[in-house]
């Protein structure tokens, strides 16, 4: 039975990675597609390459936080740890897939953290609420910080291009900058979000950090390739009409924002970051040009995500306990 649980848990982790790739691929180059700088196919290829590089080179930082920073599993038995990882990953993948179907860019970080807390409560394990509190504060700050960065960067770029860049150079220079910043977003996203796929599996002692990162990274790549175009439409075209210079400003602001949290080992939302950055850039042109309806819908999904994942995870673990004595 334990071997079967291990297999199911790893498969569930792969499913989470796939759903992350499907939902969060838009965060990297969705703005570039929306501003018609790159095609959807070109964007997906770049996201695959740089998203995996970020996961492999720097993904281990956040894996450790997700794995044991929220619910300490050292005192739990092997069966309990495996059930914890299975319930957490199943809850996360269920909610992320549903949101992706709705074309809503939600936070896979919120999904997995909420799922971990729900599973911990079901197992009567100590949940580190102070750590969750720190992560929650970062969740609130992430879109606000990205919006401020996006606003400042776009203001500076408009001033800089108007005074120092000849008009004939605008398009080719911006295209290069947008592609470069989009690749940076993909790198920082892969580094931060690979932990959402297999962090709890590592924490449960099923996989080592390197193996977790490799499996999670490959699963994310699979999600990008097979369903990654779904949310790109929302990010790229539905929040506001993006000009090329806005796409570059939004991508740069989002990448810097997420990368700083990644280096600190804090799981934050690349979805929150890019949407916040786009909102900040949109304010430069005027709030009337922002699609406030879609922003409200996204915000509701953001707030609901950790609670829904937590409830699903709690229910899932209770269901597992009905069949297996832990």
- C-beta of residue 265 within 8 angstroms of C-beta of residue 134: no
What the block records as the tokens of 297 is 């819908």
Q: How far apart are CA 88 and CA 238, in angstroms?
A: 31
Q: How far apart are CA 325 and CA 185, in angstroms?
A: 44
Nearest to 195, CA basis, from 178, 212, 219 = 212
Tell me which DSSP letter residue 39 carries: -
Alpha-helical regions (H) of 204-269: 209-227, 232-233, 244-263
Q: How far apart are CA 49 and CA 313, in angstroms?
A: 32
Q: For the chain, give the longest Cα–Cα distance.
A: 71
- Cα 65 off chain centre by: 15
Please tell me the total count of domains within the chain.
1
Print the domain residue range for 91: 2-323
Nearest to 199, CA basis, from 98, 267, 106, 122 = 267
List the chain pLDDT tens, one digit each, 326 residues: 678 888 888 998 899 889 888 877 666 777 778 778 888 789 889 988 998 998 888 877 676 666 556 888 777 788 888 899 999 999 999 998 898 888 777 777 788 889 999 999 999 988 888 888 887 888 889 999 999 999 999 999 999 999 999 988 888 999 999 999 989 988 988 888 777 777 788 777 788 878 888 888 889 888 888 877 666 666 655 566 678 898 899 989 998 998 888 888 787 888 789 889 988 998 998 766 677 777 788 888 888 999 999 999 999 999 988 888 76
Which pTM value belongs to this model? 0.78
Task: Give the long-range contacts of residues 318-321, CB within 8 A, separation 24 or more.
Answer: 318/122, 320/83, 320/86, 320/87, 321/83, 321/122
What the block records as the tokens of 283 is 């304010």
- C-beta of residue 254 within 8 angstroms of C-beta of residue 274: yes
């Amino acid at each position: 039975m334990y071997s079967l649980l291990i297999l199911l848990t790893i498969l569930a982790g792969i499913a989470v990675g796939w759903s992350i790739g499907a939902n969060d691929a838009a965060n990297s180059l969705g703005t570039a597609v929306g501003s018609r700088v790159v095609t959807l196919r070109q964007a997906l290829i770049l996201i695959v390459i740089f998203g995996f590089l970020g996961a492999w080179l720097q993904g281990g930082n956040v894996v450790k936080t997700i794995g044991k920073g929220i619910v300490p599993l050292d005192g739990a038995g092997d069966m309990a740890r495996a059930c914890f990882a299975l319930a957490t990953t199943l809850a996360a993948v269920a909610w992320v897939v549903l949101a992706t179907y709705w074309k809503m860019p939600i936070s896979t970080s919120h999904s997995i953290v909420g799922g971990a807390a729900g599973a911990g409560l079901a197992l009567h394990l100590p949940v580190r609420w102070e750590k969750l509190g720190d992560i929650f504060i970062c969740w609130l700050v992430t879109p606000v910080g990205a919006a401020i960065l996006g606003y400042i960067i776009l203001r500076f770029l408009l001033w800089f291009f108007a005074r120092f860049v000849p008009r004939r150079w605008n398009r080719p220079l911006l295209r290069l900058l947008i592609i470069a910043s989009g690749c940076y977003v993909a790198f920082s996203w892969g580094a931060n979000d690979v932990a959402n796929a297999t962090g709890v599996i590592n924490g449960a002692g099923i996989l080592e950090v390197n193996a977790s990162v490799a499996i999670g990274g490959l699963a994310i790549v699979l999600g990008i390739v097979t369903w990654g175009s779904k949310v790109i439409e929302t990010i790229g075209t539905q929040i506001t009409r993006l000009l090329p210079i806005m796409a570059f400003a939004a991508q740069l602001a989002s990448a810097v924002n997420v990368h700083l949290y990644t280096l600190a080992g804090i799981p934050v939302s690349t979805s929150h970051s890019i949407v916040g950055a786009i909102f900040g850039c949109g304010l430069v042109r005027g709030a009337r040009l922002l699609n406030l309806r879609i922003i409200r819908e996204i915000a509701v999904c953001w707030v609901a995500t950790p609670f829904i994942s937590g409830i699903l995870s709690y229910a899932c673990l209770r269901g597992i306990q009905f069949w297996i004595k832990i």
